[in-house]
């Protein structure tokens, strides 16, 4: 990929298909990360979700360490750590250790949503749920201070000062990004002077407003000028028909999620195509498909470039969400890898024209 094309990165939820175990799904994502690395993608981020049969990305720091160890140049990070679930010091220590092992390659993306229901959040962090969401700005600033090589100074009983560091002798720190899909996250990122990522892949609405708000109210802080990109779901195949069919299982899964229906592992393509879909869910699927990047390599590359131009970003992060057909090796995700391969080639062709 050349500088004249939008920089492209990868977001991975580590999807679990109906033919896969957790071990299979992780193996497939390890292979996908390696392929993204060799193809020249800029970042590879993993998400945090809990208690979902179709998602194996439950622990970003563990996955990041695994993926960084089997790749060479690509930046690896979280998209993102859901901070209400965790104590700031724990996150700071985890990412300081990963940064020390893979200096200059680690991103810490932080989100405000719990990523699950209140029961799971309470199990993850015994201090509670709502209070930690309310304390999100303070907790973000705590992580920034703890990751700083100089550490943070606390005042404890008797007015004594107590120094805390995430790691004893940091030579570098991970890049910290604030993630969100609302005006709140955009405003907070601007106030703290943080890089910001809008979750366009999840909502697909309010993107322009959030980015305008972030840029318009930005105050220099961690970064001197606004830094931002957005995410989008993508399925690329040799034909538009094949791409549409490969996208149906994930579209069906998201329609169930938004309709409050029971969730299962991601369907295989044949099973999803054979399922009778009620009209309300079909409308949701149709609306989402219009906002995703689904099509041939040329169509997908054009869609990525138009997104970058429309929202004035020089980077787009794609979530390759293609499922698989029956008979696929469970430890692989060939349609997701093919999405990365075809898109990289098409963007390279566009850039050289």
What number of residues does the chain have? 353
Domain that holds residue 63: 7-352
Does residue 126 belong to any structural domain of this protein?
Answer: yes
Looking at the 3D structure of the chain, how many domains does it have? 1
Task: Give the integer Cα–Cα distance in Å for 1 and 348.
Answer: 5
Q: What is the pLDDT of residues 219-254, one digit of tens each?
A: 999 999 999 999 999 999 999 999 999 999 999 999
Alpha helices in 204-333 (DSSP H): 207-216, 240-259, 269-274, 279-291, 297-310
pLDDT of amino acid 116: 66
Largest Cα span, the chain: 70
228, part of any domain: yes
> What pTM does this model have?
0.94
CATH number at residue 178: 3.20.20.30
Taking the alpha carbons at both ends of the chain, their separation in whole angstroms is 13
| 277-308: pLDDT as tens digits | 999 999 999 999 999 999 999 999 999 999 99
φ, ψ at 267 (rounded to 5°):
-70, 155
Torsional sign, CA 337, 328, 265, 322: positive
Cα 88 from Cα 340, distance rounded (Å): 34
Q: Is 1 domain-assigned?
A: no
319 class by beta-carbon count within 10 Å (0-12 exposed, 13-18 middle, 19+ buried):
buried
The answer to the question of residue 81 being in a domain is yes
Residue 2 counted as domain residue: no
How far, in whole angstroms, is CA 44 from its chain's centroid?
A: 8
Q: Which long-range contacts (CB under 8 A, 24 or more apart) does 324-328 make?
A: 324/17, 324/19, 324/268, 324/269, 325/268, 325/269, 325/270, 326/19, 326/268, 326/269, 326/270, 328/19, 328/268
pLDDT tens profile 138-188: 999 999 999 999 988 888 777 788 999 999 999 999 999 999 988 999 999
The answer to the question of residue 194 being in a domain is yes
Asked whether residue 124 is domain-assigned, the answer is yes
Candidates 261, 256, 204, 213; CA nearest to 231 is 204
**Residue 192 domain flag:** yes
Provide the pLDDT for residue 66: 98
Instruction: Return the axis-axis angle of helices 334-352 and 22-39, rounded to nearest 10°.
Output: 10
**118-140 pLDDT, tens digit each:** 777 777 765 544 567 788 999 99
């Amino acid at each position: 990929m050349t500088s004249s094309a939008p920089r492209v990165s990868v977001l991975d939820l580590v999807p679990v298909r109906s033919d896969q175990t957790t071990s299979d799904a992780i193996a497939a994502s390890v292979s996908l990360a390696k392929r993204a690395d060799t193809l020249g993608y800029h970042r590879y981020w993993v998400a945090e979700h809990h208690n979902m049969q179709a998602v194996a990305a439950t622990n970003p720091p563990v996955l990041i360490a695994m993926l960084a160890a089997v790749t060479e140049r690509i930046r690896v990070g979280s998209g993102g750590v859901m901070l209400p679930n965790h104590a700031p010091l724990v996150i700071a220590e985890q990412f300081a250790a990963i940064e020390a092992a893979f200096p200059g390659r680690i991103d810490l993306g932080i989100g405000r949503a719990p990523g699950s229901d209140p029961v799971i959040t309470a199990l993850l962090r015994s201090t509670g749920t709502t209070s930690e969401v309310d304390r999100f700005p303070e907790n973000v600033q705590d992580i920034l201070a703890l990751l700083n090589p100089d550490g943070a100074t606390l005042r404890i009983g008797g007015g004594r000062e107590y120094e805390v560091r995430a790691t004893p002798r940091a030579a570098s720190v991970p890049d910290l990004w604030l993630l969100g899909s609302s005006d709140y996250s955009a405003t907070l990122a601007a106030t703290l002077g943080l890089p910001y990522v809008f979750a366009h892949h999840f909502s697909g609405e309010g993107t322009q407003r959030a980015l305008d708000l972030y840029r318009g109210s930005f105050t220099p802080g961690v970064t001197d000028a606004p830094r931002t990109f957005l995410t989008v779901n993508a399925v690329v195949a040799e034909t538009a028909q094949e791409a549409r069919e490969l996208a149906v299982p994930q579209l069906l899964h998201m329609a169930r999620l938004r309709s409050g229906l029971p969730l299962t592992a991601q369907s295989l393509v044949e099973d999803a195509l054979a399922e009778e879909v009620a009209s309300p869910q079909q409308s949701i699927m149709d609306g989402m498909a219009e906002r995703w990047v689904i099509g041939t390599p040329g169509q997908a590359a054009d869609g990525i470039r138009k997104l970058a131009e429309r929202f004035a970003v020089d980077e787009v992060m794609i979530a390759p969400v293609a499922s698989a057909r029956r008979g696929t090796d469970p430890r692989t995700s060939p349609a997701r890898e093919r999405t990365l391969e075809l898109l990289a080639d098409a963007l390279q062709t566009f850039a050289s024209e």
